Amino acid sequence: MNSKTKKRKSATVKVRRMLKADIPQVAEIEEKCLFEDPWDEGIFAECFEEFGYKNYVAEHKGKIVGYMVYMELDDSIEIMNLAIDPKHHRRSVGTQMLNALKGNLQGMRKDGIEYLVHADNLDGLRFLKSQKFRAVDICPTQRSDLDVESGEVIYGPLEENYWMRYTPNKFSPENRISKYWDV
């Protein structure tokens, strides 16, 4: 078995609220993940100041190995950002974080979890599918940047994103089609 196919051992994590003191470690994980538009420490700090954001981390042996930022909406939860340290990928850290959130849905009186994922993020889409998320919509977005010299806004190409949704079985409507198809 080579290193790519070797099964990694699960890491048991403690999911807890993020503290302001955790922000440097969280921003470091964000940087390691090589996102196209990574959040910096300032954005994470704003998540503490803005009303409605919930910030959680996953700790393994006293070290932060993942984080999640979400908002509670009227009837659902929208994940704004979720990332796991690449050294801890495929060790069930993300699964444990989402399971903690899923376990609180009924207590929060929410009927599901939503997450907007870029179409190029195949690992993220596969992970969400394994967590019983389904694509419910395609959302094209267009990036824009300000040209400092001319003051003009420069628009990039349209990018495709998938609106993913997790709905617990007890909330999923059953009909004649859903009995036969994985809708």
Q: Is residue 9 part of a domain?
A: no
State the DSSP H helix or E strand holding residue 3, giving kind and residue range, or none if neither. none
Q: Is residue 20 part of a domain?
A: yes
Domain of residue 37: give its range: 14-171
- Pick from 154, 150, 131: which is nearest to 142 by CA? 154
**Contact criterion met (CB below 8 Å) for 109 and 127:** no
Highest mean pLDDT, choosing among 89-93, 139-143, 172-176: 89-93
**Structural domains counted in the chain:** 1
Q: Which residue has the higher pLDDT, 154 or 85?
A: 85
Q: Is residue 179 part of a domain?
A: no
Q: Is residue 70 part of a domain?
A: yes
Residues 6+ apart with CB under 8 A from 12: 60, 96
Q: Is residue 103 part of a domain?
A: yes
72: pLDDT strictly greater than 70? yes
Q: Is residue 5 part of a domain?
A: no
**Mean pLDDT, residues 144-160 taken together:** 73
Q: Is residue 155 part of a domain?
A: yes
User: Which amino acid, one-letter code, is at 108?
Assistant: M
Q: Is residue 95 part of a domain?
A: yes
Q: Kindly state the percentage of the chain with pLDDT values over 70.
A: 83
Q: What CATH number does the domain containing 68 carry?
A: 3.40.630.30
Q: What is the pLDDT of residues 12-61, one digit of tens each?
A: 999 999 999 999 999 999 999 988 788 999 999 999 888 889 999 999 99
- pTM exceeds 0.85: no
